[in-house]
Amino acid sequence: MPELDFHCRIDEGTFSVVVFLTRLVVSLVLIYTAIGGLLYYREFLYNAAAVGWPMPIETGIFLLVLQIILALVLMLGWFTRLVSVLSVICLSLVGLSFFAGNLNKIYIAFILLMITALLPSMLLGPGRISLDYKHALRRARKTFRG
């Protein structure tokens, strides 16, 4: 019986485009949720106080601004793995504040979908369309000057 040899062949260009589009969509969703918190800032800050955050106004605004910054950095593909993990943590804290400590099942499913969407970026890297790739390429081409 002949031995079967199956290999998964991945086109790196297509992979990079898919990971970029995933990062882009996730970033837009993160920005959308942060802007939603900013538009309903009274309820958001009231709920942040109800959760018991220290300095609820500053913490609430900090979380929303941090989420927007993380989304922009994720869109650019800079420190992609770290930013992906931080984005999920920040989104969880924003949701905890937004729902006053009572996370509903739909928001938990939303966070799980965001984690699933960010898994390729976390595990496999950002792909060619990113600042991480440009930085790695620059470091690889750098020659020793002695």
**C-alpha–C-alpha distance, residues 67 and 33, integer Å:** 9
For range 108-136, the mean pLDDT: 90
**Whether pLDDT at 4 is above 80:** no
For range 1-24, the mean pLDDT: 84
**C-alpha–C-alpha distance, residues 82 and 32, integer Å:** 21
Q: Which two tokens stand for residue 8?
A: 């998964």
Kindly report the number of other CB atoms within 10 A of residue 106's CB atom: 8
**Whether pLDDT at 144 is above 60:** no
pLDDT of residue 143: 61
pLDDT of residue 95: 87
Higher pLDDT pick, 114 / 10:
114
**C-alpha–C-alpha distance, residues 87 and 77, integer Å:** 13
For range 18-37, the mean pLDDT: 94
Give per-residue pLDDT as tens, 94-107: 988 888 777 778 88
pLDDT of residue 1: 60
